[in-house]
Chains A and B, each alone.
Chain A
Amino acid sequence: MDEERDLSLLETLDHLLDRGVVIAGEATISIAGIDLVYLGLNVVLANVDTLNRSRDRQLEALKKEPPEVGDNVSS
């Protein structure tokens, strides 16, 4: 019974996170029809937080050490 409930929850989350129409510029990046970004369960539940922390650290580092004139800095 627990297994069925877990499966149902997982399936519900899979449909929430990986199904439905994608609004341009919002969720999917692909090359030659191959999705490079999978907005899936693991990504959203685990990795987005990590990515956000990483981005924040990079922004903090940039604030502390401004790039020299002439450097290419992507935002």
Chain B
Amino acid sequence: MRFALIGAHLREEDLEGVAGIEPFPVGGLLLSSIPYDPAGGLADRQVIASAAGVRSALLAKETFVAIRYGTSVTGPDDALTKCRQFAGDWKDLLEKYRGTVEMTLKIAGSAAPLRPDRHQFSSGRAYLEELHRSRSSSSIDEGFRAAVENELGGQAVRWRWVRRDDAGLELAFLTHRESTAKAREAGLRLKETYPGVPFLLSGPWPLEVFADGK
């Protein structure tokens, strides 16, 4: 049996009542995990569905630091070895942002970026850098971008633009749990004002973007 880690939590009560989890203490925090059969592996659809369900149930209880799916441990000692170096930072984040949740607004770019011709480069590094640059240059409606900052950034505890893939941009923001409806209302206003801009407002999520130490 192995365990897929789900997140790091500040208090024991944050995990109470959530079925199917195995908690591991690490540096004053509790890690949540779900057991799985190594023969089936982490790609097993049931395990993925279970992880998604547990993640959602845990978020309904309280904010936690999300650990990316794919991290697995053999038990409490392995969990301690792998995660104790992060426990201090995670604890600080969880104390600071308790009661908040992440939300994201993804904006699709207006044009697909051109891929550079690899034969035009003398080194692999130069090619990779150009590929990265070209994928970071899709155009976003600047008016919409400013409106997003005004509507959502204005009411957020913290916000940040993130370029996650080659086709668009994303605003990640932290908001108080009781303010998620207000954020959705802002999303509806943006939709009405900019009907031609494709975007997706989603959340609440656990600490994902804001747990990366930046």
Contact = CB atoms under 8 A, between A and B. Distances in A.
B156 interface: no
Given A27-B70, A48-B41, A13 B209 contact: no
Interface residues on B, range: 35 or more
Contacts of B209: 19
Interface string B37-80: 00001110100100110011000000001111111100000000
B159 interface: no
Contacts of A12: 52, 56
B129 interface: yes
Contacts of B42: 44, 48
B202 A34 contact: no
B86 interface: yes
Given A20-B7, A21-B86, A39-B68, A44 B43 contact: yes
Contact of B68 (A13, A21, A32): A21
A55 to B, nearest CB: 11
Given A12-B52, A44-B42, A19 B205 contact: yes
Contacts of A49: 43
Contacts, number: 88
B182 interface: no
A18 B68 contact: yes
B153 interface: no
Interface centre among A12, A20, A33, A44 (most CB of B within 10 A): A20
Contact of A19 (B5, B66, B71): B66
Contacts of A48: 41-43
Interface of B: 5, 7, 41-43, 45, 48, 51-52, 55-56, 65-72, 82-83, 86, 90, 125, 128-129, 131-132, 200, 202, 205-206, 208-209, 211-212
3 closest Cβ pairs, A-B complex: A20-B66, A19-B208, A48-B43
13 contacts: A15-B202, A16-B48, A16-B69, A21-B66, A21-B68, A21-B90, A23-B5, A23-B68, A23-B86, A32-B129, A34-B131, A44-B69, A45-B48
